[in-house]
Amino acid sequence: MLRRQFLCLISVGIALVVDLFVAPACAESGTPSLKDTLEKGLRARRPVEFEFIDEVVFLVQKEVLSRQLVMSCFEYARRRDRNQPFRYFAPALRIQAKKIGVDL
What span, in angstroms and rounded, lies between the C-alpha atoms of 97 and 64?
9
Specify the pLDDT at position 21.
61
Per-residue pLDDT tens over the stretch 67-99: 999 999 999 999 999 999 999 999 999 999 999
Per-residue pLDDT tens over the stretch 9-32: 676 566 555 565 655 554 566 788
Per residue, what are the HEC states of 20-63?
HHHHHHHHHHCCCCHHHHHHHHCCCCCHHHHHHHHHHHHHHHCC
For the chain, helix (H) and strand (E) counts, in that order, are: 5, 0
Specify the pLDDT at position 50.
95
**DSSP code of residue 100:** T
Q: What is the pTM of this model?
A: 0.69
Per-residue pLDDT tens over the stretch 35-50: 999 999 999 999 999 9
What span, in angstroms and rounded, lies between the C-alpha atoms of 68 and 91?
17
